[in-house]
Amino acid sequence: MIIYQNSALGFRTAVDDNKIVYDIDVQFMSKYGRKVAESEKRAWNYSLKFMETVLRRSKIPDDCGVLIEYMIPNTSKRIDFIVSGHDKHDNANFVIIELKQWDKVGTTNKEDIVTTYVGGKVREVAHPSYQAYSYKKHISDMNEAVNAKNIHPYSCAYLHNYTRRNPEPLTAVQYQEIIRDTPVFLSEDAGKLVDFIKKYVGKGNGLDILYQIENGKIKPSKKFVEYVSDMFDGNEVYTLLDEQKVAYENIITTATKATEKSTIIVNGGPGTGKSIVAMNAFVELLKQGKNLKFVAPNASFRAAMVEMLSNNKKHSKKRLGVLFSGSGSFYNALEDEFDVFVVDEAHRLKQKGAYMYKGESQVEDIVKASKVNVFFIDDNQRIRPEDVGTVGTIKEAAVKFGSEVMEIKLEAQFRCAGAEGFLNWLDHNLGIEDTANFDGWDGDAFDFMIMDTPQKVLEKVKERNEVGFKARMLAGFAWPWTSEAEGNTNAEVKDVELTEHGFSMPWNSRSNQYTWAFDAEKVNQIGCVHTSQGLEFDYVGVIVGNDLRYNPETMQIYASYGDYYDKTGKKGLKQKPEELTYLIKNIYKVLMTRGMKGCYIFCRDENLQAYLRSRLQHNKAE
């Protein structure tokens, strides 16, 4: 979406007449339906005067094009400034310029990340050159016209308030690669920025280029599809087995040949391979040139999927991010705006009132906005009252929008070393579902132990990591999570504390919690359901807190409201103990089924510890 569009002459005139902020504000109100904050208006007024000076000094033709606050389609990102035109070889080009009013910057040892004062404190943010670069790659990857019409994008950053230091943090050695692609211009570099712009658009005739950008169909370019396919092909993580293949073929056939709006519901418990089917279907439909998104409500799960697919290639994770989305951004999408949505962990879809969500129902948003929508779901993995992604709500939404429903069931277990008996035992003894495995299971395919102390759980996890397995510690949300303001930015505070056992560990880092599952440096942090749901490890150690207890007199497992610290997770449930118990049982089932080869647990409640032990015919304990 274009907020402001004009010729270079029109833009310069608007700035000279002191009308530029008014003109942008009017367009913003017209297209967004809301007012702009006064602070943003001041930023426009200040920065655009600098850009007017740069364009005037460059002496580029009056018919160059100018875009301001260009909203990248299907994202919430806005590009500060674009100027378009032709170069001396008659190539059609446009230049993306990221504008910053920063005056201080610090370095980090993280790829393309710097620190600066924003939002009331010093924070880690993307290097300005990387920001501009990522916008360029997004447009070139996803705007069909840029490729079909042979339009060339370029990018740079302009920090007009920033005076060069010695040494200069923004041009430190760790940022040199991104700067070579996307230069950064400081306050004394205005002349260099003039030359940069003139080089690419100095022959003018840029208005049609803006038209092509605005009206280009949003779909992955052929080059981008090849790029993703190369990373995916041959990756054994995504090999389909048995009924997974059947589910995959049904999805592909429906999504390829559907003439009517279609909804596919793929229902399966932990370990049935929902995510493997989802990723295979997603990549195949991408190869077919579909305009699609991989939607996952859980940010940690999205980060892990991108990590696995990218295989650590330079910039791949952030470039691939354009294809992955959270579930809350489609409330204002047009009907059938996308060809396909592949929605994993659909049981975590939210309703009105959820944090930062502005719509009424994420299930309805997704069905409305896509011609074909595929939901991968397990009704028994709902963990909060706001989680409304159920088979029932999906069917209701499909009826509302006239979408034909297909249901697919995945039953075979591929996680937990094929130990379906363990999962059945867990369901039965947590009181989730009655099964035949009430007292254990045959065989030693899955390593499950109830440990005497939390220290022994941690020892087991460390042992597994030391011999090359991927193992993590997990816990229920039965301890508070100290805030950043209280000095807990990077797991400094050991919140998970069992004083009676002399045991304590920190929760996963707040500053970068979504990488906890695959960052080797975070193995000494303990994760929760929000950083592990949907993910797989070789082994997990699980601390069951006092939020889940056992009453030997009633022979019932129950939830303790006062010992459960997820404020959102227990909102409105103080007088609904059965619903709270149901959700907390689901949480612990999720945690205990993250390990493919083994799970070691300790229960803080002695009665629950004794009860679970008694339910194992062949007790395994240490």
CA dihedral sign of residues 363, 365, 371, 376: negative
- First CA to last CA distance, the chain: 61
Q: What is the mean pLDDT of the chain?
A: 88
- Three-state DSSP state, 6: strand
CA–CA dist 388, 379 (Å, integer): 9
CA proximity to 293, closest of 406, 285, 249: 285
CA proximity to 546, closest of 609, 604, 602: 604
Q: In this prediction, what percent of the chain has a pLDDT beyond 70?
A: 92
CA–CA dist 101, 161 (Å, integer): 6
Out of 3.40.50, 1.10.357, 1.20.120, 3.30.70, the CATH code matching 416-614 is: 3.40.50
CA proximity to 279, closest of 315, 320, 314, 313: 320
Residue 619 has pLDDT above 60, yes or no: no
Residue 434 pLDDT class (50, 70, 90 cuts): confident
- The pLDDT tens digits of the residues spanning 517-571 come to 888 888 899 999 988 888 888 899 999 999 999 999 999 999 999 999 999 999 9
Per-residue pLDDT, averaged over 135-158, amounts to 89
CA–CA dist 530, 508 (Å, integer): 10
Return the structure tokens found at 212.
């092509």
Residue 621 pLDDT class (50, 70, 90 cuts): very low
Residue 312 has pLDDT above 70, yes or no: no
Give the strands of the sheet with 78-86, arranged side by side: 4-7, 65-71, 78-86, 92-100, 152-159, 184-185
For 578, list phi and psi in degrees, rounded to 5. -65, -40
CA dihedral sign of residues 426, 427, 432, 436: negative
Note whether 270 and 589 are within 8 A (CB).
Answer: yes
How do the domains of the chain map onto residue ranges? Answer: 4-215, 222-410, 416-614
How, if at all, do strands 324-325 and 292-295 pair?
Answer: parallel
Per-residue pLDDT, averaged over 174-183, amounts to 94
Q: What is the DSSP letter of 35?
A: P
- The pLDDT tens digits of the residues spanning 209-240 come to 998 888 877 777 777 777 777 766 655 556 67
What burial class does residue 245 get, using C-beta atoms within 10 Å of its C-beta: 0-12 exposed, 13-18 middle, 19+ buried? middle
Residue-level pLDDT at 477: 96
CA proximity to 329, closest of 24, 72, 38, 35: 72
Q: Same topology for domains 222-410 and 416-614, yes or no?
A: yes
Residue 308 pLDDT class (50, 70, 90 cuts): confident
Residue-level pLDDT at 246: 87
Q: What is the DSSP letter of 620?
A: -
Cβ neighbors of 78 (< 8 A, separation 6 or more) are 3, 69, 70, 71, 72
* Overall CATH class of domain 222-410: alpha beta
CA–CA dist 201, 178 (Å, integer): 22
Residue-level pLDDT at 263: 97
Q: Which of 199-213, 345-359, 597-611 has the lowest mean pLDDT?
A: 345-359
CA proximity to 443, closest of 412, 461, 416, 471: 416
Residue 443 has pLDDT above 70, yes or no: no
Note whether 60 and 196 are within 8 A (CB).
Answer: no
- In terms of residues, how long is the chain? 622
Neighbours of 60 (CB within 10 A): 23
Note whether 293 and 74 are within 8 A (CB).
Answer: yes
Residue-level pLDDT at 589: 93
List Cα–Cα distances, 591 to 346, 426, 475, 541, in angstroms.
Answer: 18, 11, 7, 9
What burial class does residue 66 get, using C-beta atoms within 10 Å of its C-beta: 0-12 exposed, 13-18 middle, 19+ buried? buried
Contacts 24+ apart (CB under 8 A), 354-359: 354/328, 354/386, 355/568, 356/328, 357/328, 357/331, 358/328, 358/331, 358/332, 359/328, 359/330, 359/331, 359/332
Exposure letters 576-586 (e unless 16+ CB within 10 A, then b): eeeebbbbbbb
Note whether 285 and 252 are within 8 A (CB).
Answer: yes
Residue 418 has pLDDT above 60, yes or no: no
DSSP code per residue over 545-594:
-TTEEEETTTTEEEE-GGG---TTTTTT-TT-HHHHHHHHHHHHHHHHTS
How many CA atoms does the CB half-sphere of 429 hold within 13 Å?
Answer: 23
Q: What is the DSSP letter of 437?
A: -
Beta-strand runs (E) in 503-603:
503-505, 526-527, 537-544, 548-551, 556-559, 595-603
Residue 171 has pLDDT above 80, yes or no: yes
Strand partners, 544: 603
- The pLDDT tens digits of the residues spanning 259-297 come to 899 999 999 888 788 888 998 899 899 888 888 999 988
Residue-level pLDDT at 622: 46
CA–CA dist 550, 559 (Å, integer): 9
CA proximity to 48, closest of 130, 127, 135, 160: 160
CA–CA dist 152, 136 (Å, integer): 10
Strand partners, 409: 267
Residue-level pLDDT at 522: 85
CA dihedral sign of residues 382, 385, 386, 392: positive
Q: What is the DSSP letter of 125?
A: E
CA dihedral sign of residues 139, 140, 145, 146: positive
Return the structure tokens found at 72.
């990248």
Beta-strand runs (E) in 202-353:
262-268, 292-295, 324-325, 338-343
Cβ neighbors of 171 (< 8 A, separation 6 or more) are 179, 184
How many CA atoms does the CB half-sphere of 413 hold within 13 Å?
Answer: 19
Location of structure tokens 């670069």:
133
**Helix residue ranges, H only, 296-445:** 299-310, 316-320, 362-369, 391-400, 420-429
List Cα–Cα distances, 483 to 19, 186, 437, 509, 531, in angstroms.
Answer: 44, 36, 42, 11, 17
Note whether 294 and 375 are within 8 A (CB).
Answer: no
